[in-house]
Every structure is written in structure tokens, then in C-alpha cells.
Amino acid sequence: MNFKQKSLSFPDLSDDQMISDYNYEEIAKIERETFMKKLHTFFLRDKYWPKINMETNERKIKIYQELKHFEKSHRDWVYSHLDYGCPTFYSILAVDINVDMMRLHENYLFKQQNSCIPSDIIEEAYKTIKKIELRKKYNRFLKMFRNYYTLLDEDERSELDKKHSEWQYNERAKTMLSLILERQKNWEVLYLIGLNLYSISKIEPNYRFSDVVSLYKKYLKSRAKHSKIQVLITKLFLNPFVFKEYKVFLSIYTSIFFDDRKDQYITKLQKYWHKFNFTINDFSDILLSNEPLREKLTTYQSIISRNYNWLEYLPPHNKTLYEVLNIDIMNSNYSNSVESTTRNSQFRDLLFKKYKIVQKTSETNLAYSILKNPQTRTDYDWMLKNNLVLMKILFLLQLEDLDPKYLDQIIKGKKSIEDILIQYQFLR
């Protein structure tokens, strides 16, 4: 096992310290209940682990003989529990001893993607519990293990219990984090590009829900530069469950995934987030939307990989393919939807007229070939709207592995992020 255990400390979504006397009281209650139901589905405290005050009537010699037997036939069981303090297989898969196959498979699939337990142990746990005869044998092993536990001296039991508690604590934290990111799909990406929602909206770690409400009202009246963005963010946290959920996310995520170097880098990004020039529309339409950012980034990369020659006709460049053909798209109503056949027909007529009178160059030919095809025009229009913000996000996600000069130039104001993006897109 190569997993490095950490001792984590995080607030708990299962407590009742939520002030809920504003708009979202009932919603917050329902969301919390749903969350806790899922948490109890995918995390189970280890009730099959030996208790510290256990006693046994078995003779020592018999216990050691049984241990030797299991060391030969199932050494992974012995090492994972007796050496590493790993939770029992039932706890790992969050199932009871009489679990049915459907529930077992569902939890196994979840744990494959969302666990701090090494994958080989998860596989062994599933294989063991899935097969009835093997499950019975494992139950006999657990009985032997509980007997063996009573033979350990106090220091040995304490050390084994400490390892086991760390596994359980980290597994619960990882499960909670996975369920949070299932609900809040973009929080991870936002944090990695320096957008800490608490920090931007100036929510302090010790704030209560009532403080957030007061802050929201303050931003509504403010004319400060970032107040509109702060209104959007604090409005999210008017749901007391989401307010606390984000606090838990920050605590667990940084504890599990960040070392000191990574933490310093992210802190630097957060300090200068305003230098990345995200607009109020970026926040409302992309960054704080429910649509998964990673899916948008995948779509973006797919379109660019097929149409790299579009880049110089997309923001942050000033010229568009419409402008190449002298089409004022800002004042047009040419929709590209299936329901707008008439408008599409009108646009094709306009496009052909414009193309006829312009000088034929590689640039005008490119613009005409893209805009006359409804599918490529749909892709191009999508890129016009999303290219700049998605390009920033992708750049910031990769920035740590690039030349440090890029970030320094942005921070010191030597270059805008838009200028660097124009330079960077031709270096990739």
C-alpha cells in the first residue's frame, strides 16, 4: 500500500449548526437530508472491527494456528488488517454482512472512483464479499482476528487502532468530498484556477450564516468594482447548507490533495484572481452555472483540435469570421436553431451576397466555408461566446507546469492575461 495517511480535520455536514431562518430554510433541510442519506449509503463505520474491551475463551495456540492458516491461504486479508489497520471489507464497501448483490455492486462502483483505500484492496474486498463461500470464510477470519486482537499488548492494540481510525476518518472525508463534488461540479476547477468563492466574497472562516446574509445585503448596495460578482457568489451561500458545504469542501480538498508547495501556488493565484479579468457574465454564464466545466473544456478542446485555424478569429483577437465578410452579427437575428429555418435561409442569402462582393482571399474563403455550414456555424458561434473564458480556465489549469514568467507578467501588470493567451496559443 502506497497511500500516505494524513490526519485531517474538517467541519462536519452532519451536525445541526446551520442558521436557517432565511429564504432557503426548507431547501437546505431537504438537501442536508438527501446528502446524509447518500453519505450513510457509501460510508459505514466499522462495526466489525475488534473492540478494545473484548475477551476470548479460545486458547492461544488455536488462535495462532488459525492465523498461520490464513497467512497461507489469504495473506492479503492478514496484512491489510493486522499490519496496516485497514478497515474490514464490509466497512470498505459500506455494506452489511447480509448485503444483496445489487447494493454490493453499486457501492463497489462508487468506491472504485471515490475512495482513499488502495484499489487492490477494494478489488479484494469486492471479490471476497461477492462470493458466498468466500464471504463465509472471511467471516471466520474476522472471528479469528478479533480473538487475535485480544492477545496483543496495549501498545500494539493502540497502534493498530490508530491506523484503523485514520483510515476511517480519511475514508469518510473522501466520501463526503465526492458527494459534494457530485452536487457542486465546478468547485474543484474554480479552486484550482485561483477562484476561492469565500475569498472573493470576503467570507471569513469564522462567519456564521447570518454574517453571510449581512454581507449579501451590503454588496447589493455597493458600487465597488467587484460587487456584482460578490453579489452572485454570496447569493449562492444564502442556502445555509451550501454555505457550510463549501466550508467542508475547502477543508477536505486542501487536506487531501495539497502539499505545501501546491498550497502556496494556489494561494498566490487566489491573491491575484482579479488579474485574470473574469467578467460578471463569465461568472453568471460559465463559472457559477450548473453545467460541468470539465465537459465544456472537453468540447472546447475537441472543436479547436479540428479547427485550429479558427483561433485568430476568436476572442481575445478582435476580428471575427463575420467581420471578414462584413456581416454585422450583433444587429442580426439569424438564429441557427432547427426551428428557425426561415432565418437560416435569410442568413444564407445574406452570406452569399456578402461573399459575392468581397475580394476572394484565403481568409474570405475560410469565413464563407465555415459560416455556410449550419453545424460549423453552430460550433463557431459557441466558440465566439465561450472561447475567451474557457481559454483562460485551460491556461490557468496548466499554468503551474509552464514558465513562471507568465504568471509574473500578469501579476506585475507587464502583460494582460489576454495578451499572454494570444502568445500562448501559438506556443502550444
Supply the DSSP symbol for 96. Answer: -
Instruction: Give the integer Cα–Cα distance in Å for 81 and 144.
Output: 12
Burial 382-418 (b: 16+ CB within 10 A, else e): ebbebbbbbbbbbbbeebeeeeeebbebbeeeebebb
Tell me the pLDDT tens digit for each residue of 372-416. Answer: 999 999 999 999 999 999 999 999 999 988 888 889 999 999 999
| Beta carbons of 18 and 241 less than 8 angstroms apart | yes
148 within 8 A of 63, measured Cβ to Cβ = yes
| Tens of pLDDT, residues 316-361 | 998 999 999 999 876 555 545 444 555 678 888 999 999 999 999 9
pLDDT at 26 exceeding the cut of 90? no
Which of 149, 150, 126 is closest to 138 using CA atoms? 126
How many CA atoms within 13 Å lie on the side-chain side of 407? 21
Distance (Å, whole) CA 427 – CA 423: 7
What are the sequence ranges of the domains in the chain? 60-183, 186-274, 292-425
CB atoms within 10 A of CB 48: 19
pTM, two decimal places: 0.85
Q: Output the pLDDT for position 138.
A: 96
Q: Which residue has the cell 475537441?
A: 302
**Predicted pLDDT of residue 16:** 39
Q: What pLDDT score was predicted for residue 13? A: 54
**Identity of residue 284:** S
* pLDDT at 428 (0 to 100): 56
